[in-house]
Amino acid sequence: MFEKPKKIDPRKNSVSDFVNRSLPNVASHPNQEQIVKLLSKDRTLRNLAELKDIVDVGSGLGYSADVLAQRAHRRVSTAVNLSMKFGGTLKIDRVLDVGCARAENAVPLADLGGKEYLGLDINSDYFPENSKLGMTSEFLHASAEKIPLEDNSIDFAISFNVFEHIPDVKLALSEVVRVLKPGGIFYTKFGPPFNAAMGPHLNRKINMPYIQHLFTDSVVSEFVSRKDPYMTVNRHPLSYYRTMFFSQEHINLKVYREYLTGFDYWAINAMPELTETYSLDELAVSAIECVIVKDTAMM
């Protein structure tokens, strides 16, 4: 794991070159020899269950109110600061939070002077009481693929750890751009993409990196006890997102960078089969961060 995440714009610097230089210095997993030996056998449900005992289960994020509040303040602060630095004039009068869940981002937005908060989520189970959010608020029980808002009606849109879950993410991005006012700003950070170490988002079931590439879907399906083992993610590769952001019309892509943490890179060293099928870019990038400004010509 790197001391600090490396942030790379692949249009300017090579992700693969950086990863290649880093791999010789990556520490081995404490149980790496045992893991490799187990994977050299038939990759059955039984072997996958044995792997679970070797690598442990990921703890995930603790969803206490304090942890969520602290995370929200960090996220919103980063989104606002980066948007102001690279996006120009930032207004937060009317803010759309795409994939808002518990709306924990509303309070730090209100602290920064936000006037109206619109929280959108396909799951309304976690929508809080409006009176607790510190500013005028409304919740939209809808998909990001069809945002129930008028064109050119939002000053600032944010989204955290959502785009890797949306089936038609290109449509979702188009919808966010549609509802932004000309000159409005969209900040998003999300990931990991599907081909990354924890792309399947199954670390609460098993903390084994690249399980999606090492075991068949049928074995993983049986292990997690659901027909589609990766039903919560869209399975899009990193290349899909690059193409989407780099070719999107009517936007100014002010920031695009990919995060590399070094976490789980031991598996790339231990299992050369991974790089026979997937590029180091696909395997190594754990998150994507963007700042987008809507073209002022779009009225």
Q: Which residue has the higher pLDDT, 98 or 298?
A: 98
**pLDDT score at 250:** 76
Q: Which residue has the higher pLDDT, 66 or 216?
A: 216
What is the percentage of the chain residues whose pLDDT exceeds 70? 96
What is the percentage of the chain residues whose pLDDT exceeds 90? 84
Instruction: Output the CA angle 72-78-80, nearest 5 degrees.
Output: 100
pLDDT exceeds 90 at position 94: yes
Kindly state the tokens that stand for 246: 């780099």
**pLDDT score at 1:** 66
pLDDT exceeds 70 at position 58: no
pLDDT exceeds 60 at position 210: yes
Condensed to tens digits (0 to 9), the pLDDT of residues 213-264 reads 999 999 999 999 999 999 999 999 999 999 999 987 778 999 999 999 998 9
Structural contact between residues 291 and 186, judged by C-beta atoms closer than 8 angstroms: yes
pLDDT exceeds 60 at position 299: no
**pLDDT score at 68:** 85
Nearest-angstrom CA–CA distance, 167 and 179: 20
**pLDDT score at 298:** 61
| Helices 238-247 & 169-179 angle (0-180, nearest 10) | 30
Handedness of CA 236, 242, 247, 248 (dihedral sign): positive
pLDDT exceeds 60 at position 59: no
* Reported pTM: 0.95
pLDDT exceeds 90 at position 63: no
| Three-state secondary structure call for residue 171 | helix
**pLDDT score at 154:** 98
